[in-house]
Amino acid sequence: MLLFSYEGGFINNGISNYVLGRTAPNTVLSSDIVPWAVIERLPDLLTGSRVILSIVLLFLEPLSVPFLTLYLVACITDFLDGHLARKMGCKTSYGPYFDSLADCLLVAVVVYSIIVHVEFDNWMIIWIVIIASVRIIAFLVGSLRYHKPAFIHSYLNKLTGMALFLLPFILVTISTPVAVAIVCSLASVSSAEYLLINILSDHYDPDCPSLLHL
């Protein structure tokens, strides 16, 4: 029987220890059940599904039950794709970029849906524009310095992403000014750190935890 393990990110081909009662801890599935090629592509498939879900959200009523339900599913795929890629040892060179692009699309769609549905005061709009401008500048600075898309998955960026993902649920529970103030405060700090990392770092590290780790 062909069994495969994901330890080290490669397929192990051997005699069926499973039948003999000596299954290795990392042995997952028989290739007769699920082809390894499908399992290996699962993180990318989850990321791709987030792109599709983001597009579908455009056709749903913002902050409605169907919108929030589908949005929650998209958020779950964001957690699962990276987690599975690390656990299964099938991380790819383009995976982080694909994941970041899918995240950006989802955030853009949700922000657009919220802007259309929720009335924003001028100070909120100005604050959001400033944050977006700083993040674009940070991305451009890093991309020019490292000669590749400069996405940084720092702790603050991840925390900001989580806050943005939770924003639709926050808006249905507390007032808009309070929700915007909380998210924008966190986004302001993370955007400033993002810019400083790309200015001060001597090499590109997409998983740089924080400015203190340079």
Residue 7 in tokens:
């330890």
Same domain, 95 and 5: no
Domain limits for position 204: 118-214
Bridge-based pairing state of the strands 27-30 and 3-5: antiparallel
pLDDT computed for residue 5 by the predictor: 37
Instruction: Say yes or no: 157 and 196 in one domain.
Output: yes
pTM (2 d.p.):
0.66
**4-13, 90-99, 101-110: least confidently modelled range:** 4-13
164-212 per-position pLDDT tens digit: 888 899 998 999 999 999 999 999 999 999 999 999 999 999 889 999 9
For 43-70, how does the pLDDT look when each residue is reduced to its tens digit (9 = 90+)?
A: 778 888 899 999 999 999 998 999 999 9
Q: Are residues 63 and 154 in the same domain?
A: no
**Residue 127, CA distances (Å) to 106, 139, 148 in order:** 20, 19, 28
**Would you state the pLDDT for residue 103?**
84
Using the 3D structure, point to which of 91, 109, 127 is the last residue of a domain: 109
Same domain, 45 and 69: yes
Compare 4 and 155 and report the one with higher pLDDT: 155
> What is the count of structural domains for the chain?
3
Rg (CA), the chain: 21
How does pLDDT run across 149-161, given as a tens digit for each residue?
Answer: 998 989 999 899 8
142's enclosing H/E stretch is helix 122-146
User: Can you list the pairs that 28-34 forms with residues at least 24 positions away whose Cβ atoms lie under 8 Å?
Assistant: 28/4, 28/88, 29/3, 29/4, 30/1, 30/2, 30/3, 31/2, 31/3, 31/4, 32/1, 32/2
Say whether both 95 and 147 belong to one domain.
Answer: no
